[in-house]
Amino acid sequence: MKTLHLSIIAIVCIVTAYAIWHFTSYDPAPVTHQNVFLIHALVIHNPLSTPSIGFAGTSHNYYLKFKSELNTCGLVAYNICDGNSCVKNDGMPNSLPVLDFLHLPDYQEFPLPDNLPWKEGDSVNIQVKVQGTYNLSDPSIYHSQNIWIDLGKSEIMSS
């Protein structure tokens, strides 16, 4: 009888921990493979990078480079995984514009954390969360809901 009670308590603790983890890490933004903003993104490796003026004089070996052919959205998060490890940023304080009219068709760069276990030629899956979307069932309807766009596989390139 004592074993039954301990088993029930263990199961309740496991289910409770899973429920707490699920609801605290749940992202209500939908995920789509429809790239309605025509976003292009890639990961660049530059082992000899020099400090970037735009990022307080720090240098990074990996960058997320992105652009959009439309100016109706802003980048608010990214999720890049290689199958074994992921780098995520869902805490960008401001929505970064994806399109820069002054530097078309240049990509914008966002530094990724250092010490990533990746190398040039590795395949990564890139997802970006953008603010400002079209209704996927009717693209003529615009609203400002956040949405994850799965851009699919990309190869890490040398700069």
The per-residue pLDDT for range 70-116, each reduced to its tens digit, is 665 678 889 999 988 999 988 765 555 555 555 555 677 888 888 88
How many domains does the chain contain in total? Answer: 1
Residue 116's nearest CA partner among 38, 55, 63 is 63
Specify the length of the chain in residues.
159
Q: 154: pLDDT confidence band, cut at 50, 70 and 90?
A: very high
Task: For residue range 5-57, list pLDDT tens digits in order.
Answer: 888 888 888 887 776 665 555 566 778 888 877 888 899 988 765 544 444 44
Domain limits for position 53: 29-158
Domain membership flag for residue 68? yes
Torsion-angle region of 83 (φ positive above 0: left; ψ -120 to 50: alpha; else: beta): left
Give Cβ neighbours of residue 36 (< 8 Å, ≥ 6 apart).
70, 133, 134, 136, 139, 149
pLDDT at 19: 62
Q: Is residue 35 part of a domain?
A: yes
Q: Evaluate whether 103 touches 74 at the Cβ level (below 8 Å).
A: no
Report whether 150 contacts 144 (CB < 8 A). Answer: no
Q: Is residue 10 part of a domain?
A: no
Asked if residue 20 belongs to a domain, the reply is no
**What is the pLDDT, as a whole number, of residue 50?**
52
User: Residue 76 gets which letter from DSSP?
Assistant: E
In a domain, 105, yes or no: yes
CB atoms within 10 A of CB 35: 16
| Residue 20 CA to its chain's centroid (Å) | 23
pLDDT confidence bin for 124, thresholds 50/70/90: very high
Given a contact cutoff of 8 angstroms between Cβ atoms, the answer to whether 111 and 62 are in contact is yes
In terms of Cα–Cα distance, which of 54, 128, 61, 116 is closest to 89? 128
Identify whether 19 is part of a domain.
no
62-76, 95-109, 126-140: range with highest mean pLDDT: 62-76
DSSP character at residue 121: T
Question: What confidence score (pLDDT) does residue 126 get?
Answer: 95
* Nearest CA among 51, 32, 48, 159 for reference residue 107: 159
Residue type, 60: H
15 in a domain, yes or no? no
Please state, in angstroms and rounded to a whole number, the distance separating the CA atoms of residues 83 and 137.
Answer: 31
Query: Is residue 7 one of the residues assigned to a domain?
Result: no
